[in-house]
Structure formats: structure tokens, C-alpha cells
Amino acid sequence: MVGLGFRREFAEEMISGTQITPDFIEFAPENWMHIGGYWKKMLHRVVEKYPVLCHGLSLSIGSPEEPDKEFLRYVKSFLDEYQVRIYSEHLSYSKCDNAHLYDLLPMPFRMDAALHMAGRIQQVQDYLQRPLAMEIISYYTPVSPEMSEIDFISEVVQRSGCQLLLDVNNIYINAFNHHYDAKDFITRLPLDKVAYIHMAGHEQVSPEMILDTHGHPIADPVYDLFEWTIRQIRPVPVLLERDFNIPQMPELQAELTRLKTICHQQWKHHELVA
């Protein structure tokens, strides 16, 4: 299953399904909750056509403050209403001092943060009555770390029982920006917990820095890392994220096709077993 992030810019094309044919769609519930009118109709049309996965933005699971109960209540009813198969979020925070910052901020890799986050994930999972798939975010600086990123993630996953959303492009970017080996990092993750994969484009803005833009085609070395990665895991849904600098649909379709071909080759054995 290779899906595409649903965006207003190409909603018509996805609904008509003539130029682009993802196996499923993904969107952020925050962008579609409490909405009526034109976009509500469009959402209903696209949801009738494709299976839906949701990828949240505002849960801010690493925040010092308590989760927003009202927000969670809406998320729960939204996930039920649209029969959402996977709800994913980020190993990150975007809110502090009760103020939203609308960006995914890096958690300090520290034991107190890992314990806090694991507790929060459990709390949300219990409330929603479903596991969360937590994405390893791209980040541009560590914040006063006391442990390695991999130990931090493993600790959170193990203690909370959550699943992982492996964004291969994020790992590629982080490995470049923080000078580590992407394959070695992936090998050390609890790979049996990977429930979902993201793929996206990036941009190198200086000799030392790559930005996670979601505004470019997937880079070749990220395809290579993807191919290597999926050999290590069981088949899971794969999503192409394209949020900016939207190209013509055939270009996006070509990326979907390339991803599908790789999945088919690497997961052939699983398909036969299944």
C-alpha cells in the first residue's frame, strides 16, 4: 500500500483519480475538524474513495502540560467517523506554557523526558483505545542531551508500547545533520514496532545542513535507504508526503509508482507467504 498525503491543492485530482491513484490517503485531523462548507464536502468525497490514515500535528505529546482533553475528545470522534486505520503523531512537542508554536520541536534526549513522554503516550492510547504510531522527527539541534537519540526512542517505545512511524527521509536528514550513520541508526531501532513509513523530499541548504522541506521530489539516496530499510521489516503502509512546491500530478504519480515497485520487489516474499 503506497499512499499520498491529501492536500487541498490537489484535492480535485485525487477525487477524480484519473491522473493520480494512491492506495490510501493521509491527512492531519486538525486541518479538517470543525470544518463545514466546501471543504467538508470535498473531504467526504475523498474519504468515500480511499482508505484513510491520520497523522496528527497538535497533540504535543512531549509537552510539560496535560494533554488537551477537549482536543482528544474530538480526535476520538473524528477517527471513528472517518474509520481511520492508523493514527500517528510525533515524538516531539509543539506547545509549552500553554502556548502552541505550530512546529515540531526537538525533545531533550533525557530520561525524565522519555518517562514523561511514555506516560503521556499510554494515557492517550488508553483514551483513544488504539495504539499510536509515533514518528521520529527531523531536528536541527539536540537539546541538552543526557542519552543518545536511539536510547531515548527505544526507552519511549518500550515503556509506552507504542508503534513507530519511520520517516526514512527524516532519518536520512538527521544522520547528515548530526553526523551519524543512517543504516546503523535504523538497525538499532525496535524495528518490529514499525507500523508505517513516510517518504518525502528535502533540500540541502548549506554544506552542513539539510532541511526537511516536503517541497522536493524524494532524493535518490533516500530511495536507496528506503529500499534497504524495508528489507529489514514486515510490510507496512508507505506514504508519500508532498506539502509545498506541488508538481504536476504525473510527477507525483511517478514517485508513487517508484515506491510501489520497490515495495513489490523487497516484500515479494511476504506477499507470497500472505
Partner 1 sequence: MSSLPDTPQLQHRFTQHCRTGIRTTLPGVAPDRLTHYRQAIRHMVKDTMESAYPITCANIPARKWEGMVRTFFARHACTSYQVWKLPLEFYTYAVENNWDDVYDIPYLSDLLAFEWAEIEVFNMEDIAPAAFVSTGHWLETPLVLNPEYRLLSFKYPVHREARRARLLKEKGAWFVLLHREPGTGNVKFTGISPWLAFVIEQLAAGITVKDILEYAPQLGITVTEELEKDTLAFLTDMQQQHFVFGFQP
Which residues are paired to 240 by β-bridges? Answer: 4, 199
Nearer to partner 1 among residue 172 and residue 226 (C-beta): 172
| Interface stretch with partner 1, choices 10-18, 136-144, 223-231, 264-272 (CB under 8 A) | 136-144
Q: Using CB distances below 5 to 8 A depending on partner kind, what does residue 38 bind out of partner 1, Fe ion, none?
A: partner 1
CB of 195 to Fe ion, least distance (A): 13
| Interface stretch with partner 1, choices 144-152, 159-167, 241-249, 256-264 (CB under 8 A) | 144-152
Q: Using CB distances below 5 to 8 A depending on partner kind, what does residue 167 bind out of Fe ion, partner 1, none?
A: Fe ion
Pick from 80, 100, 64: nearest CA to 72:
80
| Number of chain residues interacting with partner 1 (CB under 8 A) | 40
Q: Identify residues 64-83 at the interface with partner 1 (CB under 8 A).
A: 64, 68, 71
User: Residue 257 CB: number of other CB atoms within 10 A?
Assistant: 13
Mark 91-130 with x for binding to partner 1 (rule: CB under 8 A) and - for no binding.
--x--xxxxxxxx-x-xx-x-xx--x--------------
Mark 25-64 with x for binding to partner 1 (rule: CB under 8 A) and - for no binding.
-----xx-xxxxxxxxx----------------x---xxx
Binding flag, residue 185, partner 1 (CB under 8 A): no
Pick from 169, 208, 200: nearest CA to 186:
169
- When binding is defined by CB under 5 A, the residue of 198, 222, 240, 266 that contacts Fe ion is 198
| Interface stretch with Fe ion, choices 45-53, 165-173, 247-255, 259-267 (CB under 5 A) | 165-173
| Interface with partner 1 (CB under 8 A) | 30-31, 33-41, 58, 62-64, 68, 71, 93, 96-103, 105, 107-108, 110, 112-113, 116, 140-146
